[in-house]
Structure 1
Amino acid sequence: MTEPFLIGDTMTGGYGKGPDILHGCTIAVEKGEIAVIVGPNGAGKSTAMKAVFGMLNVNSGAVRLDGEDITHLTPQQRVVKGMGFVPQTSNIFTSMTVEENLEMGAFIRRDDFSDTMAQVYELFPILKEKRHQAAGELSGGQRQQVAVGRALMTKPKVLMLDEPTAGVSPIVMDELFDRIIEVARTGIPILMVEQNARQALEIADKAYVLVQGRNAHTGTGKQLLADPEVRRSFLGG
């Protein structure tokens, strides 16, 4: 058995000196896969994601990327190792243009990133159209595309999205999910926390339902959509 490309392995931890929020929680994603974390409010979904990214203390367990133990690295060091993280809020520079936002995403690169910029514009045509516009003037869905595009500018080995469709309309949500599928098809593993559980499970290769910081159900998106208990407890029947 080879280990997953990215794994937060039996993580227990919380914020600062506060109580543990995660209790032996395991989350993993393979190359080219979309793995989603769903569950009720307060289940520890975003906390699990932040633990994998190094934003809170993991008191026991480990985080490994491509076989390397990165448990004690800072978030900044993890970005250099190849982790792209898109937070739910405050994820763009509103006063900068779309193109300047994307350029900011390439801050750790020392090579020519024009090819990556072209790929981002191919993935998100609306951003190319609005590249000279201030990002703060864009719609919610377009801002999320800027945020994802900026993370892609680092040429990440894995992309982590914290509630990418929060606050957008159902039509925009479908479009964002289509783009996320396209990113995964390029081989980049995607780990995603999502409030819209049913829609997220429909595109998930792997899915984790968390309850009170623990793994409650794990399987493919289709398996969990078909699971009567998951449907009853988390998907409204």
Structure 2
Amino acid sequence: MTEPFLIGDNMTGGYGRGPDILHNCTIAVNPGEIAVIVGPNGAGKSTAMKATFGMLNVRSGSVRLDGEDITNLSPQERVIKGMGFVPQVRNIFPSMTVEENLEMGAYIRTDDFRSTIEQIYDLFPILRDKRNQAAGELSGGQRQQVAVGRALMTQPKVLLLDEPTAGVSPVVMDELFDRIIEVSRTGIPILMVEQNAKQALEIADRAYVLVQGANAHTGTGKELLADPEVRRSFLGG
């Protein structure tokens, strides 16, 4: 068995000096996969993702990227190593234009990044149309596209998305999921926290149900969708 490309392995930890929120939690993703983290409110889903990105103390366990232990690296150092992260809120610069937001995403690059911007416009055509508009004037779904696009500007080796469809309509949610699938088809592993559990499991190659900061169920999206206990406890029957 080869090790997953990104793995948060047996992570226990919490914020600052506060109590542990994660308890021996393991999440992982491989190139070309979409891995989703679902579970009830307060289950530690976003905390688990933030732990892999270095935003809280991992008191035991480790985080490894492409075989390298990155447990003690800062989030900024992890971006340089190839991690892209899209937080749930405050994930754009509202007063800047769409294109300026994308340019901000290229802050670690020293090469010509115009071709990457064009790739993002191909992925999200509406952003090309609105490239000179202030990002704060866009709809919720369009702002999420800007946030994902900005993370892709770093040319990440792995992309972390914290509830990308929060607060958007079902139609926009379906469109965002389609775009996420397109990104994964380029080979970029995607680790995603999602409240819309059923829809997320439908597109998941790998899935984790967390309860109280610990792994409760692990499998493919299809396996968890078919699991009677998962359906009863988390999917409404």
Q: TM-score range by the shorter chain?
A: over 0.9
Structure 2: which amino acid aligns with 1:121? Y
Residue 24 of structure 1 aligns with which residue?
Answer: 24
| Equivalent pairs, count | 237
Residue 229 of structure 1 aligns with which residue?
Answer: 229
| Structure 1 residue 58 corresponds to structure 2 residue 58 | yes
Shift of residue 94, structure 1, vs aligned partner: 0.1
Partners of 1:115 and 1:34 in 2: how far apart?
A: 25
Structure 2: which amino acid aligns with 1:171? V
TM-score (norm 1): 1.00
Per the alignment, in what secondary structure is the counterpart of residue 204 of structure 1? Answer: coil
Residue 139 of structure 1 aligns with which residue?
Answer: 139
What are structure 1's unaligned runs of at least 5 residues? Answer: none
Residue 205 of structure 1 aligns with which residue?
Answer: 205
Q: Give deviations 1:52-106, integer Å, cap 9, x for gaps.
A: 0000000000000000000000000000000000000000000000000000000
Partners of 1:29 and 1:196 in 2: how far apart?
A: 19
Residue 161 of structure 2 aligns with which residue?
Answer: 161
Structure 1: which amino acid aligns with 2:10? T
Partners of 2:69 and 2:111 in 1: how far apart?
A: 27
Residue 115 of structure 2 aligns with which residue?
Answer: 115
Q: Give deviations 1:192-231, integer Å, cap 9, x for gaps.
A: 0000000000000000000000000000000000000000
Q: Percent of aligned pairs with the same residue?
A: 86
Residue 39 of structure 1 aligns with which residue?
Answer: 39
Residue 173 of structure 1 aligns with which residue?
Answer: 173
What are structure 2's unaligned runs of at least 5 residues? Answer: none
Q: Give deviations 1:130-181, integer Å, cap 9, x for gaps.
A: 0000000000000000000000000000000000000000000000000000
Written as runs of structure 1 = structure 2, the 5 A alignment for 1:73-152 is 73-152=73-152
RMSD of aligned Cα (Å) = 0.3
Structure 1: which amino acid aligns with 2:185? R
Per the alignment, in what secondary structure is the counterpart of residue 111 of structure 1? Answer: coil
Structure 1: which amino acid aligns with 2:202? E
Partners of 2:127 and 2:32 in 1: how far apart?
A: 24
Shift of residue 115, structure 1, vs aligned partner: 1.1
Per the alignment, in what secondary structure is the counterpart of residue 182 of structure 1? Answer: helix
Partners of 1:89 and 1:61 in 2: how far apart?
A: 28
Deviating runs (4+, > 2 A) in structure 1?
Answer: none
Residue 68 of structure 1 aligns with which residue?
Answer: 68
TM-score (norm 2): 1.00
Partners of 1:138 and 1:18 in 2: how far apart?
A: 37
